[in-house]
């Protein structure tokens, strides 16, 4: 069992805990210097996803605008061509 835990952690349990404590202390200090909080990251990811969501639908709205604009020209031309070819 101990070998499986060591293999999973990459080192012994004690050494892994010491490494995690040191890295956590360094990261916590850097975050405190910049005034960051863990929830800032969560809200940042949330806002990013919402922004992509909203911009994506506005892009689809523009595609719909282009579709309608093109259809106002293409459909009458198509109908005229079909009417002239129908008489033959």
How far is residue 40's CA from residue 74's CA, in Å, rounded to a whole number?
Answer: 50
Average pLDDT per consecutive 10 residues, the chain (88 residues; last block may be shorter): 77 88 93 91 90 79 83 88 77
pTM over 0.85: no
How far is residue 26's CA from residue 19's CA, in Å, rounded to a whole number?
Answer: 11
pLDDT at 6: 80
Q: How many CB atoms lie within 10 A of CB 58?
A: 10
pLDDT at 68: 84
pLDDT at 88: 61
């Amino acid at each position: 069992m101990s070998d499986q835990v060591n293999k999973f952690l990459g080192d012994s349990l004690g050494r892994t805990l010491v490494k995690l404590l040191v890295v956590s202390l360094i990261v916590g200090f850097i975050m405190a210097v910049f005034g960051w909080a863990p929830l800032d990251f969560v809200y940042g990811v949330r806002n990013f996803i919402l922004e992509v969501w909203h911009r994506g639908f506005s892009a689809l709205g523009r595609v719909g605008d282009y579709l309608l604009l093109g259809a106002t020209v293409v459909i009458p031309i198509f109908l005229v061509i079909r009417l002239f070819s129908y008489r033959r």
